[in-house]
Structure 1
Amino acid sequence: MPCDVPCHLTKERQFLWNGTADLVLFSFNQGSEVDTLVAQGAKKSHQHFALSSMEPSTLFPDLSRPEYLKKFDLKATYHLDSDVPRIYLGHDRLNPETFLDFHWMTPPRAKRKDRLVSLVVSNCGKKDKNGRLRYMKELGKHVFIHSFGQCLNNAKASDYMDEPMPDSHERMRKRNRSLQDVLRNCREKMELIRTFKFHLALENSDTPDYVTEKFGIALAAGTVPIVKSRKNNYHLFAPHPHSYVVAEDFASPKVQTGLH
């Protein structure tokens, strides 16, 4: 990783105990381990313990509790005011094959009249805390939604990939991956939705700065993202105020269907 400061990343815990590590990263659910390490005297005076999380506090309440956050010297989260902001709309330079590979400069495709709204969501848990699943179902009563994920599934992804990216199927063959597995990658999702006019980029949490790859995929594909709430601060990530549609700006999903 290009860096002016020599940096060595490791999972070997010996560097924590022998004091070699300057920074120790912890996931959002490792607060109790921090307490244990501090009690055992593992943390040295020069070391910093950092929280690394891209999960929303509405789903993991500890992330909004001051007493929990005090366990850490630094925070690396999706919040833009974090010590180290970790935003989803980037590119993983360490591993370009990850789902954060956007290809922002890919030319947009012409939209098809029979492809209005797309949806790729597979987290259909019963805890619909922000009501996005209810919104999907209600909107689906008034306009046909092509749903390729497990939620409200009614379309087969392979039937809609008109011009597969050259290496998509080759990667499937080499890694013995199903098409549904491949759709976890940003490039294949972009390929799937780029002939649709709108894409439902609905987050599972209405939290400031929580803007995930759902939003980025739609923009990179040249498709207008439909988001649920303005609470997420999409205006700080969008290229233009009119480059996305906010569902809550409309009185109801039925009223919103007049946008096309």
Structure 2
Amino acid sequence: MCYYNLQVKTADAVLIHMRGLKTPEHALKMLGPRDPSQPWVMLEVETELLANSVHQTNYSTLDNFFNRTMFYTRDADIRIHHGFIVRRGLDASLLPSIWRRPCIVEQDNFNSRQLAVSFISHCDDNAGRLKYVRELQKHVWVDVYGKCGDLKCGRSINVDRFFSIDDLCVRKAGENYLFFLAFENALCEDYVTEKLYIFLFYPIVPVVLGAADYSTIMPPHSYIDAQQYTPQQLALKLAHLAKHPQEYAKYLEWRKYYQPSTIGPYRVFCDLCVRLHQPDFYEHHVIENFREWFVVKANCNRNNTVLPSLRH
């Protein structure tokens, strides 16, 4: 747990990071007796497949423990977004200059750019993404950075830390590859990797693989959904677009009208502030069956490599 608890008695709410929670007793020991009028909020940015990987907490012990949730799912009290899309100019006009960031313009190096790149450091293949990538590599060249690949960028091969838009590795990939494989580490409804939004600042076409409905968060014809293709079919499509710049450019047309928000994941703090000022946030409420809410309703595919494109 995070031990920023010096003002817990006067706080309007307490955020408890799920991944750092050992037991409810541990939390009570750190935080002291509960104030019934103070909501305790479950905070987690990862899926349930990763969130409980450290302490292996028994979910039944968390029944009736949390009052509110701060999670990536649509039914969370405060939903965590890694990013979102806005109309060009609208986002920047409301921000201080230090946060204004235009998209990187299209490069003139189309013919010299390499085909595809991915950053993968969670090697437990819950989503079957590694199997998909390995199959894809049998047909086209794909560079994989991180613990699960053969390449590294910078001083560390570990790329599971939080990326920034100006990260050297991100810039290198965004400006020197045609496609970025934004493959999720878990097939969970509503879950979208932060790397997808970060790479939208660059003239690179994302190839997504996950259980989210990308059509609700991405502009039309701005991405390629790998769920619609076998690895061999996807290889043919990427190779075709790499040989036809005009067709490839159509996947970047959306950038004329929209852009990724420069607020990105920080929006959640504004959303939290709004909820803290709404009286209903403090009404009595508990999550009676934590496993039902956190695991079952999250609708994660736990059967490893069962992607439609990998079935025979």
TM-score in terms of structure 2 length: 0.59
| 1: CA distance, partners of 2:231 / 2:215 | 22
- Look up the match of 1:119: 118
Q: Sequence identity of aligned pairs in percent?
A: 24
Gaps of 5+ in 2: 85-90, 92-97, 242-312
Report deviation, 1:67: 7.1
- Look up the match of 2:204: 223
- Look up the match of 2:81: 87
Please state if 1:135 is matched with 2:107: no
Change (3 A) 1:113 1:148: farther
Report deviation, 1:82: 1.3
Name the count of aligned residue pairs: 217
Report deviation, 1:181: 7.7
- Look up the match of 1:187: 166
Report deviation, 1:150: 3.4
- Partner of 1:255: helix, strand, or coil? helix
- Partner of 1:220: helix, strand, or coil? coil
Report deviation, 1:239: 2.2
Q: Of the two structures, which has the highest relative contact order with CA contacts closer than 8 Å and spacing of 6 or more?
A: 2
- Look up the match of 2:7: 15
Please state if 1:257 is matched with 2:235: yes
Report deviation, 1:117: 0.8
**Are the counterparts in 1 of residues 69 and 76 from structure 2 also a CA contact under 8 Å?**
yes
Please state if 1:27 is matched with 2:17: yes
Report deviation, 1:196: 1.7
- Look up the match of 1:77: 71
Report deviation, 1:131: 0.6
Please state if 1:239 is matched with 2:230: no
**Are the counterparts in 2 of residues 121 and 151 from structure 1 also a CA contact under 8 Å?**
yes
- Partner of 1:226: helix, strand, or coil? strand
| 1: CA distance, partners of 2:176 / 2:70 | 36
**Are the counterparts in 2 of residues 102 and 186 from structure 1 also a CA contact under 8 Å?**
no
2:199 partner amino acid: A
Report deviation, 1:113: 2.9
Please state if 1:151 is matched with 2:151: no
Change (3 A) 1:89 1:149: same
- Partner of 1:20: helix, strand, or coil? coil
Deviations 1:16-61 (A, max 9, x none): 2xx3122111011355544555699611122110011001023346
RMSD: 3.6
Report deviation, 1:246: 1.3
- Partner of 1:25: helix, strand, or coil? strand
Deviations 1:103-142 (A, max 9, x none): 453323245334111122233x3x3111111111110010
Report deviation, 1:75: 0.5
- Partner of 1:113: helix, strand, or coil? helix
- Look up the match of 1:6: none
| 2: CA distance, partners of 1:102 / 1:148 | 29
| 2: CA distance, partners of 1:13 / 1:153 | 42
Gaps of 5+ in 1: 1-9, 92-96, 158-176
Report deviation, 1:248: 1.5
1:25 partner amino acid: L
1:201 partner amino acid: A
| 2: CA distance, partners of 1:52 / 1:112 | 42
Deviations 1:221-260 (A, max 9, x none): 121111113x2222222122x211111201x201111213
TM-score in terms of structure 1 length: 0.69
| 1: CA distance, partners of 2:200 / 2:80 | 19
